[in-house]
Amino acid sequence: MRGWLRPHRLVLIALALALALWAGWSLRWDWIPRYWQLGVQGLWRTLWLLVLSVVIGFALAVPLGLAQAAGPRWLAAPARWFCTLIRGTPLLLQIWLIYYGIGSLFPQYPWIRQSDLWPLLRQAWPYALTALSLSYAGYEGEVMRGAFRAVPPGQLEAARAYGFSPFAVFRRIWLPQALARALPTLGGETVLQLKATPLVATITVIEVYAVASRVRQDTFIVYEPLILLALVYMAIAGLLALGFRVLERRYTRGLGH
């Protein structure tokens, strides 16, 4: 702490505090009470979109990575193509293709409209979640491919020599080591995923960015909602980075460097 707090830093911190005080004093914040509830709901929606899409996307990324790293060619080639397609096109385009394209196909079929799933398919968030999950799966499939390849083959041979079944080799040896190696990258990618969530506001999912846009449209206040929003995202990104650092410290122990 002593080494961090040097004289020039004190000056910079004082300047930043002065700037924050000036912003709090002279910018307009009177819209906050009116939109507070909406903002919290939006934040909640952003967070669960992030968590669900990361969980689903990662569950898809493990088989995608495994297929590319060790699968037969008829599995590896489609997995590689999926990753190239996702990584080669903008997420915004993917979101619009899924929402406007696939979403406009469903109402044509009466049996879909009469099914129990219809109330779900009429909303926007299932499409947003699908697009975000597929995107995460595409990027992380590539990361996991490298991570699976990086596990030394001797380890797998040793496990097999001990009589582990192929599934046990995967679950006890291969996956944990690949995960430990991929964790730093996954942390960065998860922050990128957080930064991608505001795009779903363009298909009418009211998350925290959409709330800020609404404040701007309703009140013509431009900067204040955007600045507050930037601070919110920075806080979430900081928490994510911290969480991944804890995970890394716990799971990379015993990994030879």
Q: For binding to other proteins (CB under 8 A), which residues are involved?
A: 6, 8-9, 12, 84-85, 87-94, 96-97, 100-101, 104, 191, 194-199, 202, 209, 222-223, 226-227, 229-230, 233-234, 237-238
Look up residue 54 and give its two tokens: 């990361």
Nearer to other proteins, 109 or 162 (CB): 109
Output the smallest distance, CB 85 to other proteins, in A: 7
Give the residue from 191, 225, 188, 193 showing the smallest Cα distance to 209. Answer: 225
Output the smallest distance, CB 94 to other proteins, in A: 8
Output the smallest distance, CB 253 to other proteins, in A: 25
Output the smallest distance, CB 136 to other proteins, in A: 15
Cα separations in angstroms, 133 against 94, 156, 200, 231: 11, 30, 12, 25
- Residue 171 CA to residue 169 CA, distance in Å, equals 6
CB 143 within 8 A of CB 186: yes
Give the residue from 229, 222, 224 showing the smallest Cα distance to 24. Answer: 224
- Residue 93 CA to residue 86 CA, distance in Å, equals 10
Output the smallest distance, CB 20 to other proteins, in A: 13
Nearer to other proteins, 168 or 226 (CB): 226
Helix (H, G, I), strand (E, B) or coil at 118: helix
At a CB cut-off of 8 Å and minimum separation 6, what does 162 contact? none
- Residue 208 CA to residue 198 CA, distance in Å, equals 8
Q: What region, left, alpha or beta, does residue 163 occupy, with left being phi > 0 and alpha being psi -120 to 50 degrees? A: left
Nearer to other proteins, 166 or 238 (CB): 238
Nearer to other proteins, 56 or 237 (CB): 237
Nearer to other proteins, 38 or 226 (CB): 226
Output the smallest distance, CB 226 to other proteins, in A: 5
Nearer to other proteins, 18 or 59 (CB): 18
> Would you say the C-alpha torsion 63, 64, 65, 68 has a positive or negative sign?
positive
> Would you say the C-alpha torsion 5, 7, 8, 12 has a positive or negative sign?
positive
CB 178 within 8 A of CB 220: no
Output the smallest distance, CB 183 to other proteins, in A: 18
Nearer to other proteins, 129 or 159 (CB): 129
